[in-house]
Chain A
Amino acid sequence: MYATGYHRASSVEEAVKLKGQHDEGRYLSGGMTLIATMKQRLAAPTDLVDLRHIADLHGISVDGRNVRIGAATPHAEVAGSSALRAICPAICDLAGKIGDPHVRHMGTIGGSIANNDPAADYPAAMLGLGATIITDRRWLSADDFFAGLFETALEEGEMVTGVTFEAPEKAGYAKFANPASRYALAGVFVARRADGVRVAVAGAGADGVFRHSGMEEALAASWSPDAVAGAAVDARDMLTDMHANGEYRANLVKVMAKRAVIAAG
């Protein structure tokens, strides 16, 4: 790892100010991606602004069917929240399958979505739930937030402070995890609401997390695992790498979509 500076922020305002003082600095949340990337010298921020000790960024609040999760809330807390599980078990199950128990104690939802790793799970949940991403300066729909591989709508110095969504009628997530890394080779989040169905895919798309309109229409017409069988997933839109080619991922997307619908019930 290259040398770096460290600054611990105690408020959102302080964090944004600290980040503003260091052009080549980065926000640090749980660090489960960033520290590993720095160790490989793939990232070399001059300074780190640690967000983990900002009290306002922690916690899950559930008000009726409205949910708000603070950006620095670790995966283990989301996985273990009984209030959240009562209205949206899919996101608890998804959080409980990220990495391993130790990673889930450190890694955070804000870090995951701000990084927007194409194989990360949370972006699919946010897109599938039609969540709103809250930053230090504005509210963005998930549709507008995620913008390709490791790309988001976040501006320079902008920081994710939380996410909010309304629990859907039904939701489910299924992923085929890379057996070594546990990242998704394909992960599909399905959610049904009175006004329609959303299907979001992680791990498989060549341009990162995406919605699949064909499967959304098929499931809106008939909410059943078999409904996705007729939908076409184009292998040319899929990622091809050493782990799986596009054809394989295209098939996995349909299989995971089926399993997600089964999980949703």
Chain B
Amino acid sequence: MAKVTLTVNGRTVSGECEERTLLVHFIRDKLGLTGTHVGCDTTQCGACVIHMDGKSVKSCSILAVQASGSSVTTIEGLSSQRELHPVQAAFKEHHGLQCGFCTPGMVMTAVDMINRHGGKLDEATVRHELEGNICRCTGYHNIVKAVLSANAEMQAGRQAAE
């Protein structure tokens, strides 16, 4: 057994787990944060995407012990207020989901994408950047719309703040 210490959504947490425990299982089973999903379990679908030290990663393909010491953000930690994060709000507004299973990973991916590309995000880039996330319901059109809309809003917010 190994001891894993993480900062998850701003809170320091510790737990014991087997060395082979995947980060996604630690987050779901030990921490009870079940917003992060397990879809394919083979690094393809992206339902398990979280941010580790500020970067999007697939938590089904990382051991919890590998992540020990790092700072993790899950879908539950995106917005500290009762309000939705702009990306979550845009997914709701543009109907960027149907069954919702892929949505936590899609939203975490979108936030990472917007952080990295900022004002330069266009439709082609969004579609390319979504290659690690699979949605079997929507056909992606509304997801792409939601990401672009959230990006525009977040850029406007940033400019207003400057």
Chain A interface residues toward B at CB < 8 A: 1-6, 8, 28, 31-32, 35-36, 38-39, 48, 50, 52, 76, 99-103, 105-106, 180-182
Contact = CB atoms under 8 A, between A and B. Distances in A.
A261 B162 CA distance: 45
Interface stretch (B50-58, B84-92, B94-102, B143-151): B50-58
Chain B contact residues, majority secondary structure: mixed
Given A36-B43, A102-B132, A3 B57 contact: no
A102 B41 contact: no
Given A4-B19, A50-B65, 14 more contacts: A6-B63, A6-B66, A32-B43, A32-B61, A36-B42, A38-B20, A50-B66, A101-B131, A102-B109, A103-B43, A103-B58, A105-B57, A106-B57, A180-B44
21 contacts: A3-B18, A3-B20, A4-B19, A5-B19, A6-B2, A6-B19, A31-B63, A31-B66, A32-B43, A36-B42, A36-B43, A36-B61, A39-B22, A48-B63, A76-B55, A101-B132, A102-B58, A103-B43, A105-B52, A105-B55, A182-B131
B49 interface: yes
Contacts of A3: 18-20
Contact of A1 (B20, B55, B56, B113): B20
Contacts of B41: 39
Interface in B77-134: 109, 112-113, 129, 131-133
Nearest to A28: B66
Contacts of B131: 100-101, 182
